[in-house]
Structure 1
Amino acid sequence: MKLIVNADDFGYSPGVNTGIVDAYKNGIVSSTTMMANMYGFEDALKLHKEYPGLGVGAHLVLTSGKPLTNLPKEFLDDNGEFLRRPIYLDDQNESIERDWLDGELIYKEWKAQLDKILDAGFNVDHIDSHHHMHTHEQTRAAAKKISEEYKLPVRSSYLDEKYFNSPDFVKLDGDGLLSNKNTDKQKFVELFDHITSFEIVELMVHPAYVDFYLMDNSSFNTARVYEHMWLTSDYIKGLLKERNIELVTYKQFK
């Protein structure tokens, strides 16, 4: 079977970028998704030029950093940055409707973010979003429009199946296991045994080295170091080899 191990948040900060690239060089990460509006964008661009084999998608943002377009004040906090995730999604990832959440404005902002990534020279092969905001009931149409316009697949079970790479394509969230230093190794055996029952799987991960920007701006910070630890471990690399799991990127399915 084929496995895409996608590290979200490329471009968030230099520490995040370095952790992702190291998990690609020395671990099982095969793909990442880029944030166009964040502090570490230029640093990520430099790093990727050194490692062009790392697959790159667009990580569309509506809940971190500053927008690239002139959005109304309702989208922003007092510092001119995007409002955070709890404004839009509850603890069960259910959509919270906001009457000012205009789909056309979101489309223009996300298009500007994607265009910035493309203009920088990245060969974008798929789309997802920070905090899964493209799954929000009021943003799905914008994500679908961009997917159609740029002919890029989207990570989401909310969009029509034709936007997937395969009917058997599934997404798994690795954060719960990988972000725990003391995870029972048997849990990883169960995870990868489960993965082999599908044709194609994307495992979503968040490896990083911690820097000041990550600590100051994200509540999910030090746990990312443990994700890096597991993703580069000989143990997990051995599990993939034993099960004949092939690491790939979205490029193989465009």
Structure 2
Amino acid sequence: MSETPSLRRIWLCADDYGISPGVNRGIRDLITRGRLNATSVMVVGPVIGRDEIAMLKTAAAARPRCAIGLHVTLTAPFRPLTMHFRPDNGGLFLSFPRLMLAGLARRLDPVIIQSEVAVQLAAFVDLFGRAPDFVDGHQHVQVYPQVRDAFLAAVKDAAPQAWVRQSGRLRPARSLRAPKALILDFLSAEFRRRAAAVNLAFNPGFAGAYDFAGQPDFGALMGGFLEGLPEHGVIMCHPGFVDEVLIGLDPFTVQREHEHAYLAGEQFPELLRMNNVTLG
């Protein structure tokens, strides 16, 4: 008699809690349904008041295990929490391409970056009364050159028991049809090495990056994300409802509603079952 293979436990993490009321509501809805088991919070977001935090804590407390992390944000259109943050663009963070290029050219000041990450960590502790379960980065800033060492140093100092999110696949593909994933694979290899050097835990695999501009079939994408994802791997997602606040801050809008609809529907649990995966 063949043995039934054990279930793979993965993290399905909704990014961007705090960016808008509709995104917050969508994430809480999926946590309540048991369709997410992690979310990361933007403490620099415009919708991050005590009431929104209280509702998130209530939703998470009703589930057996829902991790809440810090979504470190260092890119526009958001503003730093620290004074004299540089480089900036009229008081805003740089765009993510400019930040990445500045890191590659070694034009960033790691001390300034570490201070901003430390202040965001402290803001999370003030809001939740505890350190984050994990720490990741908006637009994957945590894996950028120069940013990564400052990020890891701040986490090691303030939340050494937290795990950090690396954005590389377990078995990187060579296809040039997914350039974003290839860049993340390359940058994450060094991030993993440096995280291990300072004894910070990180997820063994990652999935969820895709080109949302064409509004692809999210259900089909999820099938690919689950394929080969190891135990404790992370799938990043961005569910939510579109509102004026979101439209003013982020180009990723309607596709968030498509993600929410799929994750809330009945096809998703069946996909998990077919792949022998659990969020519980």
Q: Tell me the TM-score range normalised by the shorter chain.
A: 0.7 to 0.9
CA contact 1:97–1:138 (8 Å) conserved in 2: no
CA contact under 8 A between 1:35 and 1:58: conserved in structure 2?
yes
Corresponding residue pairs, total: 237
Q: How many Å apart are 1:23 and its aligned residue?
A: 1.9
2:58 to 42, 50, 56: 50
Contact conserved, 1:107 with 1:142, CA < 8 A, in 2? yes
Query: For 1:173, which of 189, 208, 216 is the aligned residue?
Result: 208
Deviation of 1:96 after TM superposition, in Å, equals 3.9
Identity over the aligned pairs, expressed in percent?
A: 26
| Pair 1:165–1:141, CA change in 2 (3 A) | closer
Residue by residue, what CA displacement relative to the aligned partner does 1:123-171 show, whole Å, maximum 9, x if unpaired? 41011011111111111111111232221211123133342356xx211
The match for 2:141 among 124, 133, 147 is 133
- Structure 2 contact 115–154 (Cα < 8 Å) conserved: no
Following superposition, the deviation at residue 88 of structure 1 comes to 1.8
3-state DSSP of counterpart to 2:206: strand
Partner AA of 2:105 in structure 1: E
TM-score, structure 2 normalization: 0.76
Q: Structure 1 unaligned runs (5+)?
A: 249-254
Over 3 Å counting, the alpha-carbon distance change for 1:220 and 1:98 in structure 2 is farther
Match of 1:56, as an amino acid? I
Q: After superposition, where does 1:156-235 map in structure 2 within 5 Å?
A: 156=166, 157=188, 158-159=191-192, 160-161=195-196, 162-165=199-202, 169-173=204-208, 175-176=210-211, 180=215, 182=217, 188-195=222-229, 198-235=230-267
Residue 150 of structure 2 aligns to a residue whose secondary structure is helix
2:97 to 62, 86, 95: 86
Work out the CA distance in 1 between the residues paired with 2:220 and 2:120: 40
User: 1:75 deviation in Å?
Assistant: 2.8
Match of 2:169 in 1: none
| Match of residue 180 from structure 2 | none
Answer yes or no: is the 8 Å Cα contact 2:14–2:239 preserved in 1: yes
Q: Relative contact order, CA 8 A, sep 6+: which one is greater?
A: 1
**Aligned match of 2:12:** 5
The DSSP-based 3-state class of the residue aligned with 1:41 is coil
Change (3 A) 1:244 1:216: same
Structure 2 unaligned runs (5+)?
Answer: 1-7, 167-187
Give the partner amino acid of 1:25. Answer: T
The alignment yields a C-alpha RMSD, in angstroms, of: 2.5
DSSP 3-state at the match of 2:136: strand
